[in-house]
Every structure is written in structure tokens, then in C-alpha cells.
Structure 1
Amino acid sequence: MSFPPSSLDSSRRRWLAQAAATAGIAALPAALSLARAADPKTLRIGYQKSSTLTLFLKSRGVLEKALAPQRVAVQWHEFTSGLPLLEALNVGALDLSADVADAVPPFALAAGAKVTYYAIETPSPTAQAIVVRKDSPITAVAQLKGKKVAFAKGAGAHYLLLEALAQTGLSIRDIEPAYLNPADGRSAFENGAVAAWVVWDPFLAAVQRQSGARILVDGTRIAAYRRFYLAATPFAQQHPDVLQRVYDELQRAGDWVKKNPAAAADWHAPVLGLDAATVAAANERRSYAVRPVDAESLSEQQRIADAFTGAQILPRRVTVQDSPVWRPA
């Protein structure tokens, strides 16, 4: 079932579909294929299995309790990846998005999505990395020249690779890209079909712990790797009080995860299908510090957008500063 024609013009819908396909992104869940008029009594939130803080709020019924005095109910909708989540946000099928990787918003903005930045998690540069097998002779990024490297097209890992290559005087044309989702990327990596893999946590922690993968370089001084929370712009404008409550609870959830690492890993591990030790290793590298969107985070969004435009991954230049930003009280 498709979105109503009035909700998104055909050219943008075509481009979003193409972007989703090239980034290895699944289709929108059928349950969200019909947008509806905004209902201030129902808050619709999209999330992924990796949306740690939002999932914590969901599992504890925190938002249901916090919004009960305002008589606002909460609906939860799971997505497999970020771009279709933001597409649903744009067409009115969702009100809020849980965190998405820093490379995702520029794709939505390039397609004309009407979204508002409302929070970030502060940088977690070591939560994504370029890895090689433990017995690989490769010890520097420059040695990837002419080699096959796996990564998800249009993901934060893609941006990390672009910048890491640029710092050594190379470009994407100097390697052989293998555009693979995390599951296929790990298979190719472990089978020796690629020389390196660019990936993020918890996949990074899993391949380190389970296969002994060696980090060639992480995002330190290359890519900050912030996580962004977005809202449908009409919702952000009409219901700032609800957005404030969600923001406050996300901050509290982030504090709890960092102060209770063992309990947080035990809780999240079954959701991710990983052991608690692997989840704890991944969580240690994530800041989980929810803060207002600042000028530096938007500047890096612009750098990411420009890098993808220069690599001809985005079809047009995006001006991130034109996007609305909600600020907490």
C-alpha cells in the first residue's frame, strides 16, 4: 500500500525510494503506509532495535506515565533502518523519530523532508571504525588503495571512510567499494571477500569480540558520530510541551544507561540478540548524553551532506542551516 499522492510529490517519492535502495534500506512497514491528520492526543514514535534510549522509555512505560496528565497516548512503530523512518515522519505517519545516525538526515533533507532537529547525543567517535581481520597485513588506511572495502552505502560508516581516505590523500575511486548491509558485510569480511569493513556499534563490538577483528582507525579526529533525534515539523511547532517532556525523559534515560552499565547491557542484550558483554562494550563507546542541537553539530551535518554530494551519493546540495531546530526550555 502506498502513501496518498497528496502527502509527498511523485518526484521526491521516487528519489526516496532510490535512496533507500542504494543505502540498503528496507521498505516502510505496511502498518504506517497511511498518513493521518495530526492528533495531539496520540504521540507516534518511530524507533529501531538500536534506539537504546527510546527503547528504554518504551520498555518502562515512561512516556505513557509522563504524558498521562496531558491525556496523550503513545504509539510505537519499529523500523529496520533510518531513512524509511524519516520518510514516515515527513509524510505525517509519525510525530517523532528516535535517534538516527548522523548521515541519515542529509538524505531526508535532500528529498525535501519537512523535519525538525530536536536533540542530539554528543559525539561517540570510537563507536564506528574501519576494521581488518586479526591476521591482515594492513596497518594503515593508505594500504587500502586498490583493495575491496565493505560498508553500507550512505551510512555514517560511508562518511567515515570518505574522510579517512581523504586524510591520506586518497578518494573513494582509489578503493573498490563493496556496498553491503551489516549482516552481509560481516559475512564478506570473515570469509576474506573484502580487505576491510567499515561498521558501527554494536556490530563493531560483536566482530571484535567474536572474530578478533582489529581496528585500523576509528572516528577520532575524523568523524564525530553524533546521533540525531528528529520530529515532524508541524508536530514540533504545534506541541512543544510534548516535545519538552520527551526530551527531558531521554536525558534521564541516557544518564541511567551510563550510570548502570551492567543493568543496561542485561536489559538490551536480548533485544539485540547479542550477549550482555558485547552490548556493554558497545555502550561504553556511546555517549548517550542527550543535549540541544548546537551549531557545531549542524556544521558537521553540512560537512557530511557536502561529502556525499561531492561523491555523487546525494543528487543535490543540501543547506542544513535552513532546517528548523527546536530548543528545550
Structure 2
Amino acid sequence: MKRRHLLQAGALAAPTLLGFRTKAVAANRVLNVGYQKASVSLALLKARGLLAERLKPLGYDVAWSVFTSGPPIMEALSAGAVDFAFTGEPPPIFAQAAGVPVVYAAATKPAPKSVAILIGPDSPIKSLADLRGKKVAVAKGSSAQYLLISALRHAGLQYSDITPVYLQPPDGRIALQSGDVDAWSIWDPFYAAASAAGLKKLADCTGLMPNRGFYVSRRSFAEANGPALTAAVAAVKEIEAWEPTHIPEITVEISKTTGVPPSVLDIWFQRQKYGVEPLTPAILADQQTIADTFFDLHLIPRKIDVSQAAWTA
């Protein structure tokens, strides 16, 4: 996708993005934050007002926008509607390849059990090799898509051996349960909710991909608002350090704000990994491997150097 097309997509998508508003403030600047249901740390910072508290002394207010997945967040970042966001591994790769000046500010620890390929409870599929010739629902440009690619390769298959059906998470589950597709590659909490509803795991990310999350920004914003971005990352680090010993409390709080049942959240939180790490050569190398894979499959328009998108305060 060329950059102008991505910008057009962002402009078209913006009015429909849940909660999207550009907050008009007379005195303060605004940090526009993009998050999704998988962004527990950002959801907690929003609910508790902690990020706003950290940024107020720096002269910033905070505006929040909710998205269904990482790719729409990248569209909003490109359009200038989001300044700071959480996303999985592939979305910033697709954005960088499209010419969006995205930068990585921090990374999470790997959580390989939080993304999986699911099948129906009575599916005849018994192994990854059985996916040959099958339809698989997946969100394009997501961590679930890279899991699907990596899992197929592990089974000796090519991406062309299956028919990908590009759907956002809610539609992917409907497609699998209705029999319109044979499998579905998806992340938490959608994965946990689907498992609770009887769908079965065929494979998760273990041994196939790190499954890190990234806190990202736009280069122009990062360069002009370094202290605010540094404060936002620091707030995330603080809440991530607190989360592992307060899972029951978090489960209740996040259930109220997202509508996801506590039982589903508990499944997710128990297999989630916590902690924010600075960008390292090893982390960037993992991202480069993913980027090269997408380029080799002609899923991104050009080869990129992920290290050029690294940002440090």
C-alpha cells in the first residue's frame, strides 16, 4: 500500500473509530493515545487517570481513542489522530513499509501463549499440516497473521497453500463458528473468549514467534514532544510492574471498562507476560525477521530497515 493510500484509509476510517475525538485545549497540548482491548496497561492508565496525572505538570492533556486492532491504530497514527499507542509486532512494520514515520519507543516482554490458531470443536483438522487447502480467518497486518505464516512454514506449508480470509476479530469468530472458514488466527482477549465458548487451540506462538507488543509514536511528535513521550513510557513501566501481583483486582476493573467477563480475562491475564523493556539489538533483529518475511511474501511493498524506526529519549 502506498503512503497516500494509507493516508486516505486513515482519513476514511477516522470518523468511525470508537471514541475518536480531537480534543481542543486552549492552554495545554494533547497526547492522543490509541489503545485496544489488548492494551490492558493503557486501559488501566486511562481508568485511573495516572497518565493524565503524569503529563499535567508537563503541560499536556490526554485524549483516548479505542480501536479494534493494530492496523487501524497505525492509520490513525499516520493521519495525526494518534500520538502514542500500543500494538503488536506487524502493524508498525506495515506502516513503515508504507512510508509512515512510525517510531518504536519501548517493547513488552514476549507472550507466546497469547496468540493462537483456533478451530471448531468438531473440526476434522488435527495438525497444522491439515490446514492445506483450508480457509483461515485473520486480521491482515496483525500478529495473528505472522503466527499463521510461521506456523504454516513450521508444518512444511507455504502461505499460498491456504486461503487467507482477512477479517477483524469479531467477524473472524463469527466466520469460524458459522463454518465460513476452517480456522481462525487470533490474539487475546478474543482468543480467551473463543476458547471459553468451545473453540479449540490448534497452535499458539510457542517456538514460532516472540509475540511482543510495542509502544509506538510518530517521529515528528517524538522529536517535538520527547519529555511527554518519555513520561508516557515511564507511566506504562510503572503500571506493568504493578500488574502481575494484582491480577484479581485488574480482572474486576478491566471487566467493568471493557465488558469482557472476568472469567475470560483471568484466562488471558494468567498467560500474559508483564514488563516493559528498552529497545535492544536483539528485539530489533526479531522485528527485522518479521519484516523480511512479509517482504518475501510480497505482503509489504518494499524492504525496510526496522532499526531506522527506533527512538530513544
**Structure-1-length-normalised TM-score:** 0.85
* Structure-to-structure mapping, 1:262-281, within 5 angstroms: 262-281=248-267
Report the 3-state secondary structure (helix = DSSP H, G, I; strand = E; otherwise coil) of the residue aligned with 1:46. Answer: strand
Q: Does 1:12 align with 2:34?
A: no
Residue from 296, 301, 308 that aligns with 1:315: 301
User: 1:187: Cα distance to partner?
Assistant: 1.3
Q: Which residue of 1 aligns with 2:40?
A: 52
The one-character-per-residue Cα deviations of 1:153-179 (angstroms, maximum 9, x if unpaired) are 221111111111111211111122222
Q: Which residue of 1 aligns with 2:123?
A: 136
Q: Which residue of 1 aligns with 2:247?
A: 261
Q: Structure 1 CA distance, aligned partners of 2:123 and 2:272?
A: 27
Residue from 295, 303, 323 that aligns with 2:289: 303
Q: Structure 1 CA distance, aligned partners of 2:165 and 2:2?
A: 28
8 Å contact kept, 1:45–1:77 = yes
* Structure-to-structure mapping, 1:37-186, within 5 angstroms: 41-97=29-85, 99-186=86-173
Where do 5+ consecutive residues of structure 1 fail to align? 1-9
Q: Structure 1 CA distance, aligned partners of 2:204 and 2:2?
A: 37
Q: Which residue of 2 aligns with 1:205?
A: 192
User: 1:240: Cα distance to partner?
Assistant: 2.6
The one-character-per-residue Cα deviations of 1:192-242 (angstroms, maximum 9, x if unpaired) are 23222111111111111122x221111001011111111221232233322
Q: Which residue of 2 aligns with 1:5?
A: none
Q: Structure 2 CA distance, aligned partners of 1:27 and 1:250?
A: 27
Q: Which aligned runs of 4 or more in structure 1 are off by greater than 4 angstroms?
A: 15-18, 30-36
Q: Which residue of 2 aligns with 1:192?
A: 179
Report the 3-state secondary structure (helix = DSSP H, G, I; strand = E; otherwise coil) of the residue aligned with 1:28. Answer: helix
Q: Structure 2 CA distance, aligned partners of 1:255 and 1:72?
A: 24
8 Å contact kept, 1:119–1:290 = yes
Q: 1:248 to 1:35 in 2, by over 3 A?
A: closer
Q: Structure 2 CA distance, aligned partners of 1:35 and 1:42?
A: 7
8 Å contact kept, 1:49–1:271 = no
User: 1:33: Cα distance to partner?
Assistant: 8.9
Seq. identity, %: 36
User: 1:34: Cα distance to partner?
Assistant: 8.0
8 Å contact kept, 1:40–1:239 = no
Report the 3-state secondary structure (helix = DSSP H, G, I; strand = E; otherwise coil) of the residue aligned with 1:125. Answer: coil
Q: Structure 2 CA distance, aligned partners of 1:234 and 1:266?
A: 38
Q: What is the number of residues matched between the two proteins?
A: 309
- Computed over aligned residues only, the root mean square deviation of the Cα atoms, in angstroms, reads 2.6
Q: What is the identity, as a one-letter code, of the residue corresponding to 1:261?
A: I
User: 1:16: Cα distance to partner?
Assistant: 5.0
Q: 1:228 to 1:77 in 2, by over 3 A?
A: same
8 Å contact kept, 1:131–1:197 = yes
Q: What is the identity, as a one-letter code, of the residue corresponding to 1:132?
A: I
Report the 3-state secondary structure (helix = DSSP H, G, I; strand = E; otherwise coil) of the residue aligned with 2:214. Answer: strand
User: 1:15: Cα distance to partner?
Assistant: 4.2
